[in-house]
Amino acid sequence: MSILFEPKAIGNLVLKNRFIKSSTAESMAGSNGEVTPPMLEFYEAIARGGAACIFLGHAFVHPQGRAHSRMTGIHEDSLIPGLRDLGEVIHRHECYVFAQLNHGGSRVQEGYAEPMGPSAVPHPLTGTLARELTSSEIWEIIESFARAAVRARKAGLDGVLIHGGHGYLVSLFTSPLTNRRPDEWGKGTQGRSRFLEEIYRSIRKAVGPDYPVAVKLGVKDDAEGGLSVEDGASVAAILAKVGVDAIEVSGGIPTKEAGAGRRDILSREKEAYFLPYAKAVRPKVGGLPLSLVGGLRSPKLMEEIVTAGWTDFVSLARPFISEPDLVSKIRGGRWDPVSCTSCDRCRAGFAREGLRCRRDEEPPT
Ligand SMILES: Cc1cc2nc3c(=O)[nH]c(=O)nc-3n(C[C@H](O)[C@H](O)[C@H](O)COP(=O)(O)O)c2cc1C
């Protein structure tokens, strides 16, 4: 049997195989961020299709942290019943589910929240100027992550994943490009990691010692002068030391030039484009469970990198949108690459219409 189908634990959860559905914003939520019936359908298909664990699309932990329209919310207790429904349909298929906790920072759509960040600098992806957060606002946001994690636990979800990448608030703190603070929230890798560290600590205090808490970590920024792989690996080492249960290795702040999400993966050599980040992180975190995301398409390559020990799990995002049953297919012997070509049309327009594969549709104008 392939190592991809051997069970492996994250905290006290034993995942039945190594395939994780990585977060994709559903953009299907109600006006206050409520779970809706299309979300139940979307996720049940992936759970039924054999994934061991689903990381839900990012959910805003604070009313001011909403990044875009139709984003899922976890900022109020009234949202718990909908999240419970979601957990129930996923659990029918021996699949675990984590809520992804996020605050948009200055990567927010106009009109949804005030753009804010550690320092008053323009966002490297969007150019939006952030308002600098005060220390008391920082603590309020940290507490809102902890309250959101308690809601996830009350809803029966199996764990939480802190969004620490992709240019949202946490990664604005870890990056030297966007965090210029001279106080205890900035200055060097340790200071810039403090926001993430305190979020973890306050969640842990609120949910207790056994509830799985993982981090999707942006290990390196695309822009020059941003977070380097070495610094990103040091952030991972800090997380391992404070006790997170797993790290999903991803990218930091994207830039338009680097083409966030549109990286070419059409040859095997170009797949798994964040593998160098996992190779930098692994020696710093010992045996901490890692999952690698980003352009993984060939099952053989996935098997090789898990066998080599660079990662324990493989996280796939867009492939599950086009083929929710891809894990069952691989289990059944289909070893050719999954069909997703990262055309990224699922992203274009998703905020308005809800997430789906649009590979065979005309490109949006
Ligand atoms: C439509 C879309 C929505 C996404 N939403 C999220 C999100 O909510 N949270 C997150 O951490 N990453 C998000 N991502 C990034 C994916 O989780 C993943 O890191 C990226 O797509 C690379 O993996 P892939 O090549 O398997 O798609 C999104 C990607 C797409 C295409």
Distance 135 CA to ligand 1 centre (A): 30
User: Is residue 204 in contact with ligand 1, taking CB distance under 6 Å?
Assistant: no
Q: Which two tokens stand for residue 225?
A: 């002068």
Phi–psi pair at 180, nearest 5 degrees: -110, 20
Phi–psi pair at 189, nearest 5 degrees: -60, -40
Give the closest residue (by CA) to ligand 1 atom 3. 24
248 within a domain of the structure (yes/no)? yes
Give the closest residue (by CA) to ligand 1 atom 7. 24
The CATH code of the domain that includes 212 is 3.20.20.70
Residue 263 has pLDDT above 80, yes or no: no
Residue of 136, 56, 68 whose CA lies nearest to 105: 68
Amino acid at 243: G
Contact yes or no for 83/43 (Cβ under 8 A): no
Give the closest residue (by CA) to ligand 1 atom 21. 317
> Residue 287 is part of which domain span?
3-353
Q: Cα–Cα distance between 328 and 330 in angstroms, integer?
A: 5
Q: Which atom of ligand 1 is nearest to the CA of 163?
A: 11
Q: Which two tokens stand for residue 219?
A: 């290990």
Pocket test residue of 22, 58, 250 for ligand 1, highest count of atoms within 8 A of CB:
22
Pocket test residue of 21, 23, 315 for ligand 1, highest count of atoms within 8 A of CB:
23
Residue of 286, 175, 285, 168 whose CA lies nearest to 236: 285
User: Residue 268: what pLDDT?
Assistant: 80
364 within a domain of the structure (yes/no)? no
| Count of structural domains, the chain | 1
**pTM over cut 0.95:** yes
Residue 259 has pLDDT above 80, yes or no: no
289 within a domain of the structure (yes/no)? yes
193 within a domain of the structure (yes/no)? yes
Is 168 annotated in the active site?
yes
135 within a domain of the structure (yes/no)? yes
The mean pLDDT of the chain is: 95
53 within a domain of the structure (yes/no)? yes
User: Residue 261: what pLDDT?
Assistant: 61
Contact yes or no for 124/255 (Cβ under 8 A): yes
pLDDT tens-digit series, residues 27-74: 999 999 999 999 999 999 999 999 999 999 999 999 999 999 999 999
Mean pLDDT of all residues in 190-203: 98
pLDDT tens-digit series, residues 115-155: 999 999 999 999 999 999 999 999 999 999 999 999 999 99
Contact yes or no for 26/69 (Cβ under 8 A): no
pLDDT tens-digit series, residues 297-317: 999 999 999 999 999 999 999
pLDDT tens-digit series, residues 162-189: 999 999 999 999 999 999 999 999 999 9
165 within a domain of the structure (yes/no)? yes
Give me the count of residues in the chain: 365
User: Residue 298: what pLDDT?
Assistant: 96
User: Residue 262: what pLDDT?
Assistant: 63
358 within a domain of the structure (yes/no)? no
Q: Which two tokens stand for residue 309?
A: 């020990």
Q: Cα–Cα distance between 320 and 340 in angstroms, integer?
A: 8
- Cβ neighbours, 10 Å, residue 63: 14
